[in-house]
Amino acid sequence: MSFKFKLVTKRTCIFTISFTLSISLIIFLSLWFIINYNKNQISPSSTEIEIMNKFFNNRSIKRPDDILFVQNKVISEIKHEYTGSEKLDVKKTILRKKGFCYDRSILMQKYFILNGYNVRPVYLYFGEKSTSVLDFFKKETLSHNVFEVYFQGKWILIRTNTKMTKLESLKEYIKTNGVVPPHTKYVRYLNNRNGKFIYPNIIPDIY
Give the model confidence (pLDDT) of 55-72 as tens digits: 999 999 999 999 999 999
Q: What is the 3-state secondary structure (H, E, C) of 146-174?
A: EEEEEECCEEEEECCCCCCCCCCCHHHHH
What pLDDT score was predicted for residue 201? 64
Give which of 90, 124, 87 is closest to 110, Cα–Cα. Answer: 90
Angle (nearest 5°) at CA 133 between 132 and 138: 85
Q: Dihedral of CA 194/199/201/202: which sign?
A: negative
Q: What is the reported pTM?
A: 0.82
18 vs 180: which has the higher pLDDT: 180
pLDDT at 114 over 80: yes
